[in-house]
C-alpha cells in the first residue's frame, strides 16, 4: 500500500514513489502464486488475479511467504474464534489478497469483510472479479438484501466491500468505510501487510491511533520489516531504493521493541511482536517438514537472516472482555 508523501517533494515525485509501492503489490502476488504452484499451500483463487512467474523464485522466498501466509492466517482465525465470526475484518492495503474467498470456503466469513487500497489497484481487482465467475460467484452467493453496488473503484455487497482510498488520510478512509456500513460497535480486526513501512512514522501513528480510538473492541495485525539497522537491513533498503521504493517508515522497524512501542503509544492496550523465524518454529511442524521437502534449500543462513528481518506484530483492545489479549502463537 501507500508510499508516503514527503514535505517539499513535488507531486510528480510523490506519484513516482506511489507507483513504486503499487509495484510491490504485483511482486507479492506473483511470489505467492509461484509458491502455490510449487505446493507450499493451497489457494485456488490467486491464479485469477495474477500471471504465473516467468522465472522460478528462490526457495528461501517461497518459505518466507509460506510463513507469512500461515502466521497471519493463524492470528486471523484466532480472532474469528474468539468473536465467533460476529465481527468485521478491514484489510488495509489488500492488493490482490484472496482471504475473503478462502474464509468463505472454510465457512469462516465475518459479518462483513472490507478491503482498501490505492484506487488504481482496486480498479484492477474489481475488473478481475467482474470478469471471472470463480471470483464473482462467492460474492453473489454471500450477498443478501438490495442490489449489489459496483463501479470501477468500489464494489459493495452485504458481506464484501472493496474501496479505493489513501491510508495516509484516516478521515477519508473512515468516511468511505462508514458509507459501506462499517459498524464501529462490532469487534473489528484490521490487517496490514507491508503497508505501514511505506508511510511516514507520523502517518502510520495517525492510522493506528484512528483505529484504536474508533473501535472499542479491536485487534490490529501488522506484518513488516524489523531489525533494519544492521548490515543485512541496510542491503534490503538499498535494494528497494534501486527500484525507487522508499521505506518512509523504516525508523519504526528498528527492533521488535520499537514495533511494540508504536502500537502501545497509539492507544492499543496490549502489543506483541515476534520475528518470522520464531513464527516459522511455531507453525505445525508436520507441514513445515512437508514444505521443506519440496525444494532443496542451499542458503540456510540467508533464509534465517531474511526471516529475522520480518516480523508479525499484533495489538488489541477489548472492552467486551472476549479474551483478545490472550491471542498468541
Whether 86 maps to a domain, the answer reads yes
pLDDT at 170: 94
Whether 186 maps to a domain, the answer reads yes
Whether 4 maps to a domain, the answer reads no
Is residue 68 marked as binding?
yes
Return the closest-CA partner of residue 25 out of 96, 101, 129, 118: 96
Is residue 95 marked as binding?
no
d(Cα 246, Cα 253) in Å, to the nearest integer?
14
Whether 303 maps to a domain, the answer reads yes
Which residue positions in the chain have pLDDT lower than 70? 1-18, 20-25
Is residue 167 marked as binding?
yes
Could you please report the per-residue DSSP string of 41-106?
S--TTGGGTSPPPSSPPPHHHHHHHHHHHHHHHHHHHHHHHHHTT-SEEEEET-TT--HHHHHHHT
pLDDT at 150: 86
CATH code, domain carrying 226: 3.40.50.150
Is residue 193 marked as binding?
yes
Whether 18 maps to a domain, the answer reads yes
Is residue 156 marked as binding?
no
Provide the whole-model pTM: 0.93
- C-alpha 164: how far from its chain's center? 15
Which residue range(s) make up the domain with 56? 13-326
Whether 285 maps to a domain, the answer reads yes
d(Cα 179, Cα 87) in Å, to the nearest integer?
18
pLDDT at 35: 97
Buried b (16+ CB within 10 A) or exposed e, 13-24: eeeebbebbbeb
Whether 273 maps to a domain, the answer reads yes
Domains contained in the chain, number: 1
Whether 57 maps to a domain, the answer reads yes
Bridge partners for 145 per DSSP: none
Q: Where do we find the cell 508504536?
A: 262
CB distance 89 to 110 below 8 Å:
yes
Amino acid at each position: 500500500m501507500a508510499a508516503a508523501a514527503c514535505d517539499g517533494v513535488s507531486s510528480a515525485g510523490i506519484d513516482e514513489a506511489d507507483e513504486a509501492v503499487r509495484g510491490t503489490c504485483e511482486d507479492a502476488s506473483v511470489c505467492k502464486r509461484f509458491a502455490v504452484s510449487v505446493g507450499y499451500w493451497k489457494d485456488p483463487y490467486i491464479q485469477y488475479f495474477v500471471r504465473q512467474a516467468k522465472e522460478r523464485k528462490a526457495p528461501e522466498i517461497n518459505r518466507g511467504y509460506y510463513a507469512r501466509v500461515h502466521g497471519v492466517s493463524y492470528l486471523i482465525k484466532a480472532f474469528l474464534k474468539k468473536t465467533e465470526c460476529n465481527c468485521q475484518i478491514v484489510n488495509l492495503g489488500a492488493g490482490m489478497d484472496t482471504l475473503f474467498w478462502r474464509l468463505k470456503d472454510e465457512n469462516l466469513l465475518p459479518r462483513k469483510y472490507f478491503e482498501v487500497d490505492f484506487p488504481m489497484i482496486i480498479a484492477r481487482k474489481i475488473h478481475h472479479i467482474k470478469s471471472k465467475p470463480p471470483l464473482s460467484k462467492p460474492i453473489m452467493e454471500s450477498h443478501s438484501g438490495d442490489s449489489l453496488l459496483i463501479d470501477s473503484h468500489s464494489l459493495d455487497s452485504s458481506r464484501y466491500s472493496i474501496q479505493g482510498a489513501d491510508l495516509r488520510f484516516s478521515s477519508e478512509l473512515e468516511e468511505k468505510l462508514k458509507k459501506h456500513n462499517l459498524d464501529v460497535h462490532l469487534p473489528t480486526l484490521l490487517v496490514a501487510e507491508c503497508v505501514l513501512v511505506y508511510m511516514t512514522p507520523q502517518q502510520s501513528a495517525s492510522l493506528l491511533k484512528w483505529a484504536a480510538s474508533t473501535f472499542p473492541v479491536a485487534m490490529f495485525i501488522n506484518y513488516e520489516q524489523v531489525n533494519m539497522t544492521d548490515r543485512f537491513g541496510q542491503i534490503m533498503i538499498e535494494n528497494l531504493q534501486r527500484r525507487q521504493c522508499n521505506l518512509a517508515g523504516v525508523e519504526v522497524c528498528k527492533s521488535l521493541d520499537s514495533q511494540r512501542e508504536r502500537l502501545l503509544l497509539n492507544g492499543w492496550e496490549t502489543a506483541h511482536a515476534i520475528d518470522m523465524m520464531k513464527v516459522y518454529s511455531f507453525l505445525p511442524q508436520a507441514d513445515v517438514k512437508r514444505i521443506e521437502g519440496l525444494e532443496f534449500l542451499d542458503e540456510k543462513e540467508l533464509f534465517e537472516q531474511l526471516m529475522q528481518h520480518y516480523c508479525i506484530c499484533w495489538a488489541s483492545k477489548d472492552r467486551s472482555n472476549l479474551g483478545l489479549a490472550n491471542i498468541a502463537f
